[in-house]
Amino acid sequence: MEALLLGAGLVLGAYVLIYYNLVKAPPCGGIGSLRGRTAVVTGSNSGIGKMTALELARRGARVVLACRSRERGEAAAFDLRQESENNEVIFMALDLASLASVRAFATAFLRSEPRLDILIHNAGISSCGRTRETFNLLLRVNHIGPFLLTHLLLPRLKTCAPSRVVVVSSAAHQRGHLDFTRLDRPVVGWQQELRAYADSKLANVLFARELATQLEGTGVTCYAAHPGPVNSELFLRHVPGWLHPLLRPLAWLVLRAPKGGAQTPLYCALQEGIEPLSGRYFANCHVEEVLPAARDDRIAQRLWEASMRLAGLRPGENDEPDEELQPEDPGAPCSPNTPHPEEPTASEPFPGPRNSPDLSKVTHRIQVKTEPEPQ
Protein backbone atom coordinates (compact mmCIF):
# COMPACT_ATOMS: atom_id res chain seq x y z
CA MET A 1 0.00 0.00 0.00
CA GLU A 2 2.83 2.37 0.89
CA ALA A 3 4.53 1.60 -2.42
CA LEU A 4 1.27 2.32 -4.24
CA LEU A 5 0.84 5.67 -2.50
CA LEU A 6 4.47 6.55 -3.17
CA GLY A 7 4.04 5.72 -6.84
CA ALA A 8 0.87 7.79 -7.05
CA GLY A 9 2.63 10.69 -5.36
CA LEU A 10 5.53 10.51 -7.80
CA VAL A 11 3.19 10.45 -10.78
CA LEU A 12 1.21 13.39 -9.42
CA GLY A 13 4.38 15.35 -8.68
CA ALA A 14 5.75 14.68 -12.16
CA TYR A 15 2.47 15.82 -13.68
CA VAL A 16 2.49 19.05 -11.65
CA LEU A 17 6.06 19.78 -12.75
CA ILE A 18 5.25 19.09 -16.39
CA TYR A 19 2.04 21.10 -16.27
CA TYR A 20 3.50 24.23 -14.69
CA ASN A 21 6.75 24.15 -16.68
CA LEU A 22 5.59 22.95 -20.10
CA VAL A 23 1.81 23.21 -20.35
CA LYS A 24 0.50 26.16 -18.37
CA ALA A 25 0.98 29.41 -20.28
CA PRO A 26 2.25 32.62 -18.65
CA PRO A 27 -0.41 35.36 -18.54
CA CYS A 28 -0.22 38.15 -21.09
CA GLY A 29 0.51 41.69 -19.93
CA GLY A 30 1.00 44.52 -22.37
CA ILE A 31 -1.12 47.55 -23.14
CA GLY A 32 -3.94 47.92 -20.63
CA SER A 33 -6.45 49.92 -22.64
CA LEU A 34 -7.18 49.51 -26.35
CA ARG A 35 -10.03 51.99 -26.55
CA GLY A 36 -10.12 53.68 -29.93
CA ARG A 37 -8.17 50.87 -31.59
CA THR A 38 -9.37 48.21 -34.01
CA ALA A 39 -8.28 44.58 -34.24
CA VAL A 40 -9.03 41.84 -36.77
CA VAL A 41 -8.76 38.23 -35.58
CA THR A 42 -9.26 35.46 -38.12
CA GLY A 43 -10.79 32.15 -37.09
CA SER A 44 -12.15 33.72 -33.94
CA ASN A 45 -15.47 31.92 -33.50
CA SER A 46 -13.89 29.29 -31.23
CA GLY A 47 -10.71 28.14 -29.50
CA ILE A 48 -7.59 30.29 -29.35
CA GLY A 49 -9.03 32.90 -31.70
CA LYS A 50 -12.13 33.42 -29.60
CA MET A 51 -10.10 33.78 -26.39
CA THR A 52 -7.78 36.23 -28.16
CA ALA A 53 -10.72 38.30 -29.36
CA LEU A 54 -12.29 38.21 -25.89
CA GLU A 55 -9.18 39.68 -24.25
CA LEU A 56 -8.89 42.40 -26.89
CA ALA A 57 -12.55 43.27 -26.40
CA ARG A 58 -12.18 43.35 -22.62
CA ARG A 59 -9.42 45.90 -23.06
CA GLY A 60 -11.77 48.10 -25.07
CA ALA A 61 -10.78 47.39 -28.67
CA ARG A 62 -13.19 47.29 -31.54
CA VAL A 63 -12.83 43.66 -32.66
CA VAL A 64 -13.72 42.20 -36.04
CA LEU A 65 -14.26 38.44 -36.02
CA ALA A 66 -13.19 37.26 -39.48
CA CYS A 67 -14.69 33.77 -39.82
CA ARG A 68 -15.90 31.42 -42.53
CA SER A 69 -19.15 30.29 -40.87
CA ARG A 70 -21.71 33.07 -40.64
CA GLU A 71 -23.81 31.24 -38.07
CA ARG A 72 -20.90 30.47 -35.76
CA GLY A 73 -19.30 33.86 -36.31
CA GLU A 74 -22.44 35.78 -35.40
CA ALA A 75 -22.99 33.54 -32.35
CA ALA A 76 -19.40 34.14 -31.23
CA ALA A 77 -19.76 37.90 -31.68
CA PHE A 78 -22.90 37.84 -29.53
CA ASP A 79 -21.14 35.79 -26.83
CA LEU A 80 -18.11 38.09 -26.78
CA ARG A 81 -20.23 41.24 -26.55
CA GLN A 82 -21.94 39.74 -23.51
CA GLU A 83 -18.75 38.50 -21.81
CA SER A 84 -16.63 41.58 -22.49
CA GLU A 85 -19.42 44.12 -22.01
CA ASN A 86 -18.10 45.71 -25.20
CA ASN A 87 -20.63 46.21 -27.97
CA GLU A 88 -17.95 46.83 -30.57
CA VAL A 89 -17.45 43.20 -31.50
CA ILE A 90 -18.68 42.38 -34.99
CA PHE A 91 -18.56 39.53 -37.48
CA MET A 92 -17.40 39.76 -41.08
CA ALA A 93 -17.30 36.80 -43.46
CA LEU A 94 -13.90 35.46 -44.54
CA ASP A 95 -13.02 32.15 -46.16
CA LEU A 96 -9.24 31.90 -46.45
CA ALA A 97 -9.52 29.00 -48.89
CA SER A 98 -11.05 31.41 -51.41
CA LEU A 99 -8.89 34.26 -52.71
CA ALA A 100 -12.07 35.96 -53.93
CA SER A 101 -13.46 35.86 -50.38
CA VAL A 102 -10.22 37.34 -49.02
CA ARG A 103 -10.44 40.21 -51.50
CA ALA A 104 -14.12 40.75 -50.73
CA PHE A 105 -13.40 40.89 -47.00
CA ALA A 106 -10.57 43.40 -47.50
CA THR A 107 -12.76 45.60 -49.68
CA ALA A 108 -15.64 45.53 -47.20
CA PHE A 109 -13.33 46.20 -44.25
CA LEU A 110 -11.51 49.11 -45.88
CA ARG A 111 -14.80 50.73 -46.85
CA SER A 112 -16.37 50.41 -43.40
CA GLU A 113 -13.49 50.68 -40.90
CA PRO A 114 -11.29 53.78 -40.59
CA ARG A 115 -8.64 52.04 -38.43
CA LEU A 116 -6.63 48.86 -38.25
CA ASP A 117 -4.15 48.59 -35.38
CA ILE A 118 -3.82 44.84 -34.85
CA LEU A 119 -4.14 42.03 -37.39
CA ILE A 120 -3.94 38.51 -35.94
CA HIS A 121 -3.82 35.57 -38.34
CA ASN A 122 -5.18 32.83 -36.11
CA ALA A 123 -7.26 30.75 -38.52
CA GLY A 124 -5.76 27.51 -39.74
CA ILE A 125 -6.40 23.88 -40.60
CA SER A 126 -4.38 20.75 -39.92
CA SER A 127 -6.06 18.49 -42.47
CA CYS A 128 -7.98 18.71 -45.72
CA GLY A 129 -10.73 16.48 -44.34
CA ARG A 130 -12.92 15.23 -47.16
CA THR A 131 -12.29 18.29 -49.29
CA ARG A 132 -10.50 17.68 -52.57
CA GLU A 133 -9.06 20.73 -54.27
CA THR A 134 -6.80 21.31 -57.26
CA PHE A 135 -4.37 23.19 -55.00
CA ASN A 136 -2.61 22.73 -51.65
CA LEU A 137 -5.50 23.52 -49.31
CA LEU A 138 -3.35 23.63 -46.16
CA LEU A 139 -0.92 26.11 -47.69
CA ARG A 140 -3.83 28.17 -49.06
CA VAL A 141 -5.64 28.50 -45.72
CA ASN A 142 -2.60 28.66 -43.43
CA HIS A 143 -0.34 30.90 -45.53
CA ILE A 144 -1.48 32.17 -48.94
CA GLY A 145 -4.82 33.51 -47.68
CA PRO A 146 -3.22 35.35 -44.73
CA PHE A 147 -0.44 36.59 -47.04
CA LEU A 148 -3.00 38.10 -49.43
CA LEU A 149 -5.10 39.57 -46.62
CA THR A 150 -2.06 41.22 -45.05
CA HIS A 151 -1.03 42.68 -48.38
CA LEU A 152 -4.49 44.12 -49.05
CA LEU A 153 -4.76 45.65 -45.56
CA LEU A 154 -1.22 47.04 -45.41
CA PRO A 155 -2.18 50.57 -46.49
CA ARG A 156 -4.51 50.86 -43.48
CA LEU A 157 -1.95 49.32 -41.12
CA LYS A 158 0.67 51.81 -42.33
CA THR A 159 -1.56 54.85 -41.93
CA CYS A 160 -2.46 53.68 -38.40
CA ALA A 161 1.13 52.93 -37.35
CA PRO A 162 2.38 51.94 -34.90
CA SER A 163 0.47 48.77 -35.69
CA ARG A 164 1.14 45.03 -35.53
CA VAL A 165 0.66 41.82 -37.48
CA VAL A 166 0.72 38.51 -35.59
CA VAL A 167 0.92 35.19 -37.44
CA VAL A 168 -0.01 32.17 -35.33
CA SER A 169 2.47 29.45 -36.24
CA SER A 170 3.48 26.22 -34.50
CA ALA A 171 6.50 24.28 -33.30
CA ALA A 172 5.61 21.95 -36.17
CA HIS A 173 7.48 24.39 -38.42
CA GLN A 174 10.66 22.60 -37.28
CA ARG A 175 9.62 19.61 -39.42
CA GLY A 176 8.86 21.75 -42.46
CA HIS A 177 10.75 21.81 -45.75
CA LEU A 178 9.58 23.98 -48.63
CA ASP A 179 9.79 22.31 -52.03
CA PHE A 180 9.14 25.13 -54.49
CA THR A 181 8.67 22.70 -57.37
CA ARG A 182 5.50 21.31 -55.76
CA LEU A 183 4.47 24.10 -53.40
CA ASP A 184 0.82 24.24 -54.50
CA ARG A 185 0.20 20.64 -55.50
CA PRO A 186 -2.90 18.97 -54.00
CA VAL A 187 -2.41 17.08 -50.74
CA VAL A 188 -3.59 13.48 -50.61
CA GLY A 189 -3.40 11.15 -47.62
CA TRP A 190 -2.53 11.70 -44.00
CA GLN A 191 1.24 11.50 -44.52
CA GLN A 192 1.16 14.31 -47.07
CA GLU A 193 -1.15 16.27 -44.79
CA LEU A 194 1.33 16.05 -41.89
CA ARG A 195 4.12 17.30 -44.13
CA ALA A 196 1.97 20.01 -45.71
CA TYR A 197 0.90 21.27 -42.29
CA ALA A 198 4.53 21.52 -41.11
CA ASP A 199 5.46 23.24 -44.38
CA SER A 200 2.66 25.79 -43.95
CA LYS A 201 3.81 26.58 -40.40
CA LEU A 202 7.37 27.06 -41.67
CA ALA A 203 5.91 29.41 -44.27
CA ASN A 204 4.28 31.38 -41.42
CA VAL A 205 7.64 31.89 -39.69
CA LEU A 206 9.41 32.88 -42.92
CA PHE A 207 6.54 35.18 -43.88
CA ALA A 208 6.76 37.09 -40.59
CA ARG A 209 10.52 37.39 -41.07
CA GLU A 210 10.36 38.71 -44.63
CA LEU A 211 7.37 40.94 -43.86
CA ALA A 212 9.40 42.61 -41.11
CA THR A 213 12.15 43.28 -43.64
CA GLN A 214 9.72 44.67 -46.18
CA LEU A 215 8.09 46.94 -43.57
CA GLU A 216 11.23 48.23 -41.89
CA GLY A 217 10.79 51.91 -41.03
CA THR A 218 7.01 51.96 -41.58
CA GLY A 219 5.97 51.55 -37.93
CA VAL A 220 4.27 48.22 -38.71
CA THR A 221 5.86 45.31 -36.88
CA CYS A 222 5.11 41.61 -37.17
CA TYR A 223 5.69 38.45 -35.17
CA ALA A 224 5.25 34.69 -35.49
CA ALA A 225 3.65 33.20 -32.37
CA HIS A 226 3.54 29.58 -31.21
CA PRO A 227 0.50 29.10 -28.91
CA GLY A 228 1.86 25.90 -27.41
CA PRO A 229 0.07 22.54 -27.11
CA VAL A 230 -3.58 23.54 -27.01
CA ASN A 231 -6.75 21.57 -26.45
CA SER A 232 -8.77 23.21 -29.19
CA GLU A 233 -11.12 22.07 -31.93
CA LEU A 234 -8.13 21.71 -34.24
CA PHE A 235 -6.83 18.88 -32.06
CA LEU A 236 -9.84 16.59 -32.53
CA ARG A 237 -11.39 17.96 -35.72
CA HIS A 238 -9.99 15.25 -37.99
CA VAL A 239 -9.66 12.42 -35.47
CA PRO A 240 -12.11 9.49 -35.90
CA GLY A 241 -15.15 9.91 -33.67
CA TRP A 242 -14.57 6.65 -31.82
CA LEU A 243 -11.25 7.99 -30.52
CA HIS A 244 -12.74 11.16 -29.03
CA PRO A 245 -13.80 9.61 -25.67
CA LEU A 246 -10.26 8.29 -25.23
CA LEU A 247 -8.42 11.44 -26.29
CA ARG A 248 -10.54 14.10 -24.58
CA PRO A 249 -9.43 13.23 -20.99
CA LEU A 250 -5.81 12.99 -22.14
CA ALA A 251 -6.06 16.34 -23.89
CA TRP A 252 -7.57 17.93 -20.79
CA LEU A 253 -4.62 16.67 -18.71
CA VAL A 254 -1.66 17.52 -20.95
CA LEU A 255 -2.80 20.32 -23.26
CA ARG A 256 -3.44 23.99 -22.58
CA ALA A 257 -6.90 25.43 -22.55
CA PRO A 258 -7.57 27.84 -25.45
CA LYS A 259 -7.22 30.73 -22.99
CA GLY A 260 -3.65 29.63 -22.32
CA GLY A 261 -2.97 29.22 -26.02
CA ALA A 262 -4.02 32.81 -26.62
CA GLN A 263 -1.37 34.28 -24.33
CA THR A 264 1.61 34.34 -26.72
CA PRO A 265 -0.37 35.82 -29.66
CA LEU A 266 -1.70 38.44 -27.23
CA TYR A 267 1.81 39.13 -25.97
CA CYS A 268 2.99 39.74 -29.53
CA ALA A 269 0.01 42.00 -30.20
CA LEU A 270 0.15 44.03 -26.99
CA GLN A 271 3.54 43.88 -25.26
CA GLU A 272 5.36 47.19 -25.23
CA GLY A 273 9.05 47.32 -26.14
CA ILE A 274 9.28 44.34 -28.51
CA GLU A 275 9.38 46.43 -31.67
CA PRO A 276 13.13 45.72 -32.19
CA LEU A 277 12.21 42.02 -32.35
CA SER A 278 9.92 42.43 -35.35
CA GLY A 279 10.02 39.34 -37.55
CA ARG A 280 11.04 36.98 -34.74
CA TYR A 281 9.40 33.82 -33.44
CA PHE A 282 7.80 33.81 -29.98
CA ALA A 283 6.71 31.00 -27.66
CA ASN A 284 5.62 31.16 -24.02
CA CYS A 285 5.64 34.96 -24.24
CA HIS A 286 9.31 35.32 -25.10
CA VAL A 287 11.43 35.27 -28.23
CA GLU A 288 12.95 31.95 -29.26
CA GLU A 289 15.67 31.09 -31.73
CA VAL A 290 14.61 28.99 -34.71
CA LEU A 291 16.40 26.44 -36.83
CA PRO A 292 18.47 27.68 -39.80
CA ALA A 293 15.72 26.74 -42.27
CA ALA A 294 13.33 29.14 -40.51
CA ARG A 295 15.73 32.10 -40.65
CA ASP A 296 17.08 31.68 -44.16
CA ASP A 297 16.51 35.09 -45.77
CA ARG A 298 17.08 33.74 -49.27
CA ILE A 299 14.32 31.16 -48.81
CA ALA A 300 12.08 33.76 -47.14
CA GLN A 301 12.43 36.06 -50.15
CA ARG A 302 11.80 33.21 -52.56
CA LEU A 303 8.69 32.23 -50.62
CA TRP A 304 7.51 35.84 -50.77
CA GLU A 305 7.82 35.85 -54.57
CA ALA A 306 6.05 32.50 -54.90
CA SER A 307 3.29 33.68 -52.54
CA MET A 308 2.76 36.80 -54.64
CA ARG A 309 2.19 34.59 -57.66
CA LEU A 310 -0.07 32.09 -55.88
CA ALA A 311 -2.11 34.92 -54.34
CA GLY A 312 -2.58 36.54 -57.75
CA LEU A 313 -0.85 39.74 -56.73
CA ARG A 314 0.93 42.04 -59.14
CA PRO A 315 4.12 43.86 -58.11
CA GLY A 316 3.16 47.15 -56.48
CA GLU A 317 -0.50 46.22 -56.04
CA ASN A 318 -2.00 48.07 -53.07
CA ASP A 319 1.28 49.66 -52.08
CA GLU A 320 -0.65 52.88 -51.71
CA PRO A 321 -4.13 53.40 -50.24
CA ASP A 322 -6.94 53.19 -52.78
CA GLU A 323 -9.06 56.33 -52.49
CA GLU A 324 -12.12 54.37 -53.58
CA LEU A 325 -11.76 52.11 -50.54
CA GLN A 326 -11.57 54.83 -47.91
CA PRO A 327 -14.47 55.03 -45.41
CA GLU A 328 -17.21 57.36 -46.59
CA ASP A 329 -16.54 59.73 -43.67
CA PRO A 330 -12.98 58.95 -42.59
CA GLY A 331 -12.41 62.11 -40.54
CA ALA A 332 -8.95 61.70 -39.12
CA PRO A 333 -8.59 58.01 -40.10
CA CYS A 334 -6.03 57.03 -37.53
CA SER A 335 -6.69 59.17 -34.54
CA PRO A 336 -7.56 56.72 -31.74
CA ASN A 337 -10.63 58.80 -30.98
CA THR A 338 -12.02 58.61 -34.52
CA PRO A 339 -15.68 57.59 -34.37
CA HIS A 340 -16.51 54.56 -36.45
CA PRO A 341 -18.91 54.79 -39.37
CA GLU A 342 -22.16 52.96 -39.12
CA GLU A 343 -21.38 49.41 -38.14
CA PRO A 344 -21.78 46.93 -40.99
CA THR A 345 -24.33 44.24 -40.33
CA ALA A 346 -23.15 40.70 -39.93
CA SER A 347 -25.03 39.72 -43.08
CA GLU A 348 -22.96 42.13 -45.24
CA PRO A 349 -20.87 40.93 -47.15
CA PHE A 350 8.33 47.15 -35.88
CA PRO A 351 14.07 46.81 -37.39
CA GLY A 352 14.19 43.98 -39.92
CA PRO A 353 15.13 40.44 -38.95
CA ARG A 354 18.01 40.17 -41.40
CA ASN A 355 19.95 42.29 -38.94
CA SER A 356 18.51 40.87 -35.74
CA PRO A 357 19.34 43.05 -32.72
CA ASP A 358 21.50 42.03 -29.83
CA LEU A 359 18.92 40.77 -27.35
CA SER A 360 21.00 42.03 -24.45
CA LYS A 361 20.40 45.57 -25.69
CA VAL A 362 16.66 45.29 -25.81
CA THR A 363 15.85 42.89 -23.00
CA HIS A 364 15.60 45.72 -20.51
CA ARG A 365 12.73 47.15 -22.55
CA ILE A 366 10.66 44.03 -22.35
CA GLN A 367 8.82 43.59 -19.11
CA VAL A 368 6.07 41.04 -18.74
CA LYS A 369 3.46 42.31 -16.36
CA THR A 370 2.30 39.72 -13.92
CA GLU A 371 -1.27 40.87 -13.68
CA PRO A 372 -3.95 38.40 -12.69
CA GLU A 373 -5.49 36.72 -15.70
CA PRO A 374 -8.53 38.75 -16.66
CA GLN A 375 -10.66 35.92 -17.90
Q: Is 289 helix (H, G, I), strand (E, B) or coil?
A: coil
- In the set 15, 19, 20, 197, the catalytic residue is 197
Cα–Cα distance, 168 to 205 (Å, whole number): 9
Is there a cis peptide before residue 339, judged by omega within 30 degrees of 0? no
With a threshold of 0.85, does the pTM exceed it?
A: no
Decide if pLDDT at 327 tops 70.
Answer: no
pLDDT recorded at residue 254: 60
* Residue 177 CB neighbours (<10 A): 9
Range in 169-178, 307-316, 318-327, 346-355 the model is least confident about:
346-355
pLDDT recorded at residue 246: 63
Residue 19 appears among annotated catalytic residues: no
pLDDT interval class at 84 (50, 70, 90) = very high
Beta strands in 73-218 (DSSP E): 89-93, 118-121, 163-168
- 79-88 own/partner pairs: CB under 8 Å, 24+ apart: 79/50, 80/50, 80/53, 80/54, 81/57, 83/54, 83/57, 83/58, 84/54, 84/57, 84/58, 86/57, 86/58, 86/60, 86/61, 88/57, 88/61, 88/62, 88/63, 88/340, 88/343
pLDDT recorded at residue 360: 39
Q: Is 220 helix (H, G, I), strand (E, B) or coil?
A: strand
Range in 8-17, 195-204, 287-296 the model is least confident about:
8-17
Cα–Cα distance, 115 to 245 (Å, whole number): 45
Distance of CA 156 to the CA centre of its chain: 18
Portion of the chain with pLDDT greater than 90, in percent:
60
Q: Which of 313, 307, 296 lies closest to 136, judged by CA?
A: 307
pLDDT single digits (tens) 158-216: 999 999 999 999 999 999 999 999 999 988 888 888 899 999 999 999 999 999 999 99
Contact 123, 95 (CB under 8 A): no
Higher pLDDT, 350 or 36: 36
**Residue 113 Cα distances to 38, 106, 223, 328, 331, angstroms:** 8, 10, 23, 10, 11
Range in 25-29, 239-243, 280-284 the model is least confident about:
239-243
User: How high is the mean pLDDT of the chain?
Assistant: 81
pLDDT recorded at residue 54: 97
pLDDT single digits (tens) 113-124: 999 999 999 999
pLDDT recorded at residue 291: 95
Q: Is 245 helix (H, G, I), strand (E, B) or coil?
A: helix
Q: Provide CB contacts within 8 A for 231, sequence distance 6+.
A: 251, 252, 255, 256, 257, 258
Range in 55-59, 99-103, 331-335, 350-354 the model is least confident about:
350-354
Contact 174, 203 (CB under 8 A): no
Q: Is 364 helix (H, G, I), strand (E, B) or coil?
A: helix
pLDDT recorded at residue 128: 77
Contact 284, 264 (CB under 8 A): yes
pLDDT single digits (tens) 45-56: 999 999 999 999
**Residue 279 Cα distances to 121, 276, 375, angstroms:** 14, 9, 29
Cα–Cα distance, 11 to 167 (Å, whole number): 36
* Residue 349 CB neighbours (<10 A): 10
